[in-house]
């Protein structure tokens, strides 16, 4: 599939990081000094499904509702994600079809504050059983920005928000939650 067909198919590229933070309230206060667009606070339940490659999750929230497939490496720090996103209306039947066809892997329950500055999306998350995190996603929806610029944006906001290298998380919330549940049962 060529690049233009990729973007037309609803795919896009993110360069992103997830990090624990000593104070997400302080990181949010710093971001607010740069006049971001506040989208809102969302209660999101992400159901991850058993799939042979990548990750597939159904996001159910008050602000964001989508079926998301993405592939990325589990490395600490900012990394590229190839994302295919399908926005839908709330529909319990969709969830039931996915559960019956694929099976549930794990459910992540979180409260998320969402902001934007240009093409960069900021999440301040409180994740049930895991704690507090900051996520930054530099998004290229149509191929016009390029990976190098996305990397620069992530690095800029990493420093601005006071994210240290040791704060980065390599995996997704689903990985962290599965690891935590496994350690509790062993």
Q: Which domains does the chain have, with CATH numbers?
A: 9-185 (2.40.320.10)
Pairing mode, strands 37-49 and 55-60: antiparallel
pLDDT band at 77 (very low <50, low <70, confident <90, very high): confident
134 Cβ contact list (under 8 Å, min separation 6):
18, 19, 21, 24, 27, 122, 123, 124, 125, 161, 163
pLDDT in tens, 155-167: 999 999 999 999 9
pLDDT in tens, 93-134: 999 999 999 999 999 999 999 999 999 999 999 999 999 999
157 Cβ contact list (under 8 Å, min separation 6):
120, 122, 136
Given a cut of 90, whether residue 185 has pLDDT beyond it is: no
Average pLDDT of the chain?
91
Given a cut of 70, whether residue 7 has pLDDT beyond it is: no
d(CA 147, CA 58): 26
């Amino acid at each position: 599939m060529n690049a233009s067909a990729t973007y037309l198919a609803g795919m896009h590229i993110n360069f992103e990081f997830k990090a624990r933070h000593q104070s997400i309230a302080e990181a949010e206060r710093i971001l607010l000094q740069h006049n971001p667009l506040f989208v809102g606070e969302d209660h999101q339940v992400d159901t991850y499904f058993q799939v042979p490659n990548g990750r597939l999750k159904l996001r159910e929230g008050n602000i964001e509702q989508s079926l998301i497939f993405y592939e990325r490496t589990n490395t600490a720090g900012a990394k590229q994600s190839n994302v295919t996103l399908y926005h839908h209306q709330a529909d319990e039947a969709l969830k039931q079809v996915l559960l019956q066809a694929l099976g549930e892997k794990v459910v992540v329950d979180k409260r998320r504050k969402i902001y934007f500055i240009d093409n960069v999306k900021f999440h301040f998350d409180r994740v049930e059983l895991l704690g507090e995190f900051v996520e930054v996603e530099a998004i290229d929806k149509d191929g016009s920005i390029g990976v190098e610029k996305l990397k620069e944006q992530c690095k800029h906001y990493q420093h601005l928000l006071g994210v240290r290298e040791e704060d980065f998380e390599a995996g997704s919330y689903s990985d962290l939650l599965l690891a935590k549940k496994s350690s509790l049962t062993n």
